[in-house]
Amino acid sequence: MIIGFIGFGKVSKTLFNLLDSKDIICITSPEQRSDKTVENIRDSGIEVFESIKEVAAASDILISATSPKSALDVARKYGGYCRGIYLDLNNISQDTTYEISSHTDNLVDGAIIGKIDSDNPILYISGKHADDLLFLNDFIKTKKISSNVGDVAILKMLRSSYTKTLSALLIESSEIAQKYGLEEEFFDILTLTEGENFTQKSLSRIDNTLANSQRKCEELEEIINCFGDCDLIMVRAALEKLNR
């Protein structure tokens, strides 16, 4: 079996390391990739093809893990060359997922919940070909939600709505606490009700959000596009905060 990756950031690199089997060959291409991605590819030892088109055509499973902003463009360019399963792991809306399905056959909608490099990430999948990917449970815990493409996208958006809005609130509250010299005490009193690991998790969440603010903003914009007819006061406020 050949598994191809479009994009080779943290998610793809970690999945490649998890897919440790003599029956699986993993491939990718540095074409149009950033210097950091090219470095990841070189350091990983993954098999390299000259073009993404070649990767798409050769893959039994093609995994798109790029960014919300580029997910649809990637599908437009390369989805038609994929004759196997096209697994999209980007944090995109249901509508974007539906549009991607028009550019490739055999789309499976996916999401990795939890830090990909943690001990217990879970891969959620939906789509009529989702059953064909349940063998991935041998490498990463894999759960099928339904046979409907788009169901995982909705869950991704709902989770992002909660986590990114919460992150923006944590950033704002901790900034105020710092202003008054009470940051440590602020997290101490929250720990009393939120659990003993709350401070560590919160600081990690804040650091991750600040380090990846552009991607987080893209994801919040996807949420607004997905649920634009709903009351999204908190989501819009979080987007405004992160854009600053």
Select from 96, 120, 147 the last residue of a domain. Answer: 147
The predicted model gives 121-129 an average pLDDT of 94
In this structure, the answer to whether residues 102 and 141 fall within a common structural domain is yes
Domain count, the chain: 2
Phi, psi (degrees; rounded to nearest 5) at 67: -160, 160
The percentage of the chain sitting over the pLDDT mark of 70, rounded to a whole number, equals 100
In this structure, the answer to whether residues 127 and 162 fall within a common structural domain is no
In this structure, the answer to whether residues 191 and 72 fall within a common structural domain is no
In this structure, the answer to whether residues 227 and 180 fall within a common structural domain is yes
Q: In this structure, what CATH number is given to the domain that contains residue 78?
A: 3.40.50.720
In this structure, the answer to whether residues 125 and 165 fall within a common structural domain is no
Q: Considering the entire predicted model, what is its pTM?
A: 0.82
In this structure, the answer to whether residues 6 and 92 fall within a common structural domain is yes
Model confidence at 10, pLDDT cuts 50, 70, 90, reads: confident
pLDDT of residue 19: 92
Comparison of pLDDT for 208 and 236, the residue scoring more: 236
Distance CA 123, CA 104 (A): 21
Distance CA 228, CA 108 (A): 24
pLDDT of residue 4: 96
Task: Tell whether the model's pLDDT for residue 177 goes beyond 90.
Answer: yes
pLDDT of residue 222: 85
Q: In this structure, what CATH number is given to the domain that contains residue 171?
A: 1.10.1040.10
The predicted model gives 30-51 an average pLDDT of 88
Task: Tell whether the model's pLDDT for residue 36 goes beyond 90.
Answer: no
In this structure, the answer to whether residues 171 and 112 fall within a common structural domain is no
The predicted model gives 81-101 an average pLDDT of 93
In this structure, the answer to whether residues 110 and 225 fall within a common structural domain is no
User: What is the span of the domain harbouring residue 239?
Assistant: 154-243
Mean pLDDT of the chain: 92
Sheet architecture: strand order including 61-64: 47-48, 25-28, 2-6, 61-64, 85-88, 107-113, 122-126, 141-146
